[in-house]
Every structure is written in structure tokens, then in C-alpha cells.
Amino acid sequence: MARFLVTGGAGFIGSHLVDALAGAGAKVRVLDDLSTGRRENLPAAARLIVGDVADPGTVRAAMAGVDGCFHLAAIASVARAAEDWLGTHRVNLGGTIAVLDAARARGVPVVYASSAAVYGDCPDQPITETAPTRPLSAYGADKLGGELHAAVAARVFGVANVGLRFFNVYGPRQDPGSPYSGVISIFAGQLRRGEPVEVFGDGGQTRDFVAVADVVAALRAAMGRIGPGDAAGRITTPAVPQALVFNVCTGIATSIRALAAELAALEGGTAVIREGPARPGDIRHSVGCPDAARAALGLGPPMPLRAGLAGVRAWLDAGLRLERT
Ligand SMILES: NC(=O)c1ccc[n+]([C@@H]2O[C@H](COP(=O)([O-])OP(=O)(O)OC[C@H]3O[C@@H](n4cnc5c(N)ncnc54)[C@H](O)[C@@H]3O)[C@@H](O)[C@H]2O)c1
């Protein structure tokens, strides 16, 4: 039986990963400070260590005896990184270094969350992994810093690792305040209340919305590439330590208006759009190229947006039912 540490495992993406790993029979340990994550997100089979990923001793202890580490813990907010530059840096880059350092001490392969934020405003779309990295936020700069340290971890310290640059991940359990795809919960709420859908600017901005189930598949496939072959316990021979980086995206550009229309269609209606002021610094287009990840990790086609949104709607419905009881 493979044993995994998932940092940030009580959060949105992490908890879906924990569900999948535990469901496949792996032993899962979670390190999370519960700052945005929730204990209730975790299955009973997972062991939760409440602690700080930027504390080296805590991370070393959490990493003891595991076959692989998924590092997802972060302050996943561009706005918070702008407000508390040094504090988020401590967690987002310091936490990543603490994980890589503990992994080197114990020879543990690491799959970690990077972000499309490393690209900034990229003129060439869809964005491939070879595009220049010019982050426009402290958050993106720390994610890029994490990739640089991961490359050193592989080259110098022999830590095999894969960084995954997530685009706009969406799905059940997502905080409506999420800068990535919280817009989905917000629009769904406005549509249900019969209100117009409020967009920034003309709503023509495009994003690459990737379903959390597809992100979990990419995380597990990446671990299979460098460490335990699958969660059921087959261990592949560790490859020569390498640092790989892939986009995790669909390659499909969805405008914010089109997103509203998809959600309205699920509710059986049409969306009335109300245009608001444009957000200063808003990136107009952000669509990734998924080809390298598909080829290297053997990923299947992405979940269609409508199917993924139906999953979010079912989760929102279940929440409303709970609120009423
Ligand atoms: N959601 C997206 O679209 C998206 C896109 C790009 C990258 N990412 C990255 O994916 C990862 C997961 O993001 P998410 O959307 O699930 O966010 P999330 O906020 O739901 O999950 C982050 C988790 O990390 C935990 N955490 C925060 N600070 C910590 C600390 N100091 N010590 C221990 N745990 C700590 C939180 O409690 C939370 O459970 C993050 O690294 C994020 O930067 C997410």
C-alpha cells in the first residue's frame, strides 16, 4: 500500500486528491493549517496533522515514512499576496522549500502545485510551457520561485519532482471567493436569485476552466511518472531524478459571457449580463496548451465544461438542502 503526504489536503483541490488516493487504497496523511481548508472536507481514512507547511520541523515529521508527497498548501490568493507580501512569501515559497528540503532528507518524490500565474500576460495563446515567465503578482513570482528551487532540488539534491501549472480549476468545495473560479459560484447564485449576472468590463475575457477531477488525474499521473506507480501500491522504479513542469488546462478558451450562458442553460434559462467597470490589470486572455502534459502523463480528454458545471450545481444544491434542514 502506497503512503502519501498531501500538504494543503483539507483545501479545495487537495481534498479531492485525498478522496481519490484513499479511495484507491493508499494511506494518506494530510498537513494543513486549516486556514482556508476544512476538516470536514477529509474522508475518515485520512490522518490530519494540523500544522504549518513553512515550519521545517513540522514538514520533516509529516514526511516520515511516506512514498511520495503532493504539495498543494499555499495561500492561494493574488489579493492576499498583494496585501501581505512577505507573509504569503513565507508560506508560498518558504513552504515549498521546506517540502523540498524534507524530501531530500528522506528521498521522497514531490508533485507540487504551480500556477498559470507564472506566465503573467502572455501574448501568445494557447500558452505552452516554453512561453516566457513574467509573473504580474507576488503570488505568481513565488510559484515561479518554487519551480526554480524544485529544479535545484532535482539537479543538486536528487529530488525527483513535477510542477503542475494549474489554470482556472473549478469544482465542488471551491470557495466562492476564489480568484480562479469563484466566479462560477457567484454567477450560479445570481442566476438562481433571478438577478443579472455581473461581469467585469465586457465579459469578453477568456479563461481556461479545468475540472478538479482532471487536475486530480494529472496529479496522480505525475506521481506515477516519478514515484509510486499507483495508489494501490505498485511502486515503479524511481526514474533518474528530474524536475518536470507541465500545464494543467484544457486548451479551450471560454469567455466569461460564455460561462454565464452555460450556467444559465443548466438552470434552463438565459443569462442577463450586466457589465461593470473593468478590473485594473485584468488579464484579457489566458488559455493553456495541454499537449505536453497529455503526452507525458498519458491524460485523457478533459471533462466538458457543461458536465463539470453540472457537478458544481449539484454540490451547491446539496449545500442549500443542508442549510434548509
Ligand atoms: N484553484 C485554482 O484554480 C488554482 C490555480 C493555480 C494554482 N493553484 C494552487 O493549487 C493549490 C491548491 O489550491 P486550492 O485552490 O485548493 O486552494 P485552497 O485554499 O482550498 O487550498 C490550500 C490549502 O493550503 C492550506 N494552507 C494554507 N497555508 C498553509 C500553511 N502555512 N500550512 C499548512 N497548510 C496551509 C489551506 O488551509 C488549504 O487547505 C495551491 O498551491 C494553489 O496556489 C490553484
> Each residue of 19-61: pLDDT tens digit?
999 999 999 999 999 999 999 999 999 999 999 999 999 999 9
Mean pLDDT of 205-215: 97
* Closest alpha carbon to 116 in 148, 79, 78: 78
Q: CA–CA separation, 140 vs 304, rounded Å?
A: 27
The reported pLDDT for the residue numbered 321 is: 56
Would the CB of 26 count as within 6 Å of ligand 1?
no
Q: Whose CA is nearest to atom 5 of ligand 1?
A: 166
Fill in the amino acid letter for 129.
Answer: E
Residue nearest to atom 7 of ligand 1 (CA): 115
> Residue 95 CA: which ligand 1 atom is closest?
31
Q: In angstroms, what CA-CA distances link 82 with 11, 210, 278?
A: 21, 25, 19
Superfamily, domain 171-206+252-286+303-324: UDP-galactose 4-epimerase, domain 1 (3.90.25.10)
Mean pLDDT for 73-89 is 94
Query: How does residue 296 score in pLDDT terms, banded at 50, 70 and 90?
Result: very high
| Mean predicted confidence (pLDDT) in 88-110 | 96
Nearest atom in ligand 1 to the alpha carbon of residue 170 is 3
Q: In what order do the strands lie in the sheet with 47-50?
A: 47-50, 27-32, 3-7, 68-71, 110-115, 161-166, 243-248
Q: Rounded to 5 degrees, what angle do the CA atoms 147, 10, 14 make?
A: 45
pLDDT in tens, 122-143: 999 999 999 999 999 999 999 9
Provide the pLDDT confidence category of residue 320 given band limits of 50, 70 and 90: low
Q: In whole angstroms, what is the distance from residue 108 CA to residue 262 CA?
A: 42
Ligand 1 atom closest to 36 (CA): 37
Q: Is the pLDDT of residue 236 over 70?
A: no
Q: Inform me whether the pLDDT recorded for 177 exceeds 80.
A: no
Query: Pick from 123, 136, 108, 173: which is nearest to 282 by CA?
Result: 136
Atom from ligand 1 closest to the CA of residue 90: 31
Is the sign of the CA dihedral 223, 225, 231, 236 positive or negative? negative
Ligand 1 close to Cβ of residue 74 (< 6 A): yes
Q: What share of the chain is helix, strand, coil (3-state, %, to 5)?
A: 40, 20, 40
- Ligand 1 lined by 34 (C-beta under 6 Å): yes
* pLDDT classification of 179: cutoffs 50, 70, 90: low
Residue 22, CA atoms < 13 Å, CB-side half-sphere: 20
- Which residues have a catalytic role annotated? 139
Q: Parallel, antiparallel, or unpaired: how do β-strands 254-255 and 206-207 relate?
A: antiparallel
Ligand 1 lined by 111 (C-beta under 6 Å) = no
Question: How much is the average pLDDT of 89-98?
Answer: 98
For residues 274 and 197, the answer to whether their CB atoms sit within 8 Å is yes
C-alpha 33 – ligand 1 centre gap (Å)? 11
Ligand 1 pocket, residue 216 CB under 6 Å: no
Q: Pocket of ligand 1, candidates 115, 209, 286: which has the most ligand atoms within 8 Å of its Cβ, to mutate?
A: 115
3 and 66 Cβ atoms separated by less than 8 Å:
yes
- Tell me the average pLDDT of the chain: 91
Is the CB of residue 211 less than 8 Å from the CB of residue 11? Answer: no
Least Cα distance to 206 among 121, 134, 301, 304 occurs for 121
Is residue 11 in contact with ligand 1, taking CB distance under 6 Å? yes
For residue 75, the CA-to-ligand 1 centroid distance in Å is 6
| Residue 188, C-beta contacts closer than 8 angstroms, at least 6 positions apart | 263, 267, 312, 313, 316
Q: Is residue 96 lining ligand 1, measured as CB closer than 6 Å? A: no
- Pocket probe mutation, ligand 1, options 40, 72, 208, max atoms within 8 Å of Cβ: 72
Question: How close is the Cα of 12 to the center of ligand 1, in Å?
Answer: 7
| Mutational test site, ligand 1, from 6, 7, 13, max ligand atoms within 8 Å of CB | 13
Q: How far is the CA of 195 from the centre of ligand 1 (A)?
A: 31
Please count the other Cβ atoms lying within 10 Å of the Cβ belonging to residue 230.
17
User: Where are the domains positioned within the chain?
Assistant: 3-169+209-248, 171-206+252-286+303-324
Q: What is the mean pLDDT of residues 63-91?
A: 95
Look up the pTM and report it.
0.94
Domain 3-169+209-248: give its CATH superfamily: NAD(P)-binding Rossmann-like Domain (3.40.50.720)
Sign of the CA dihedral 7, 147, 305, 294? negative
How far is the C-alpha of 24 from the C-alpha of 230, rounded, in Å? 8
Q: What is the pLDDT of residue 235?
A: 42
Q: How far is the CA of 9 from the centre of ligand 1 (A)?
A: 8
- Output the residue whose Cα is nearest ligand 1's atom 23: 8
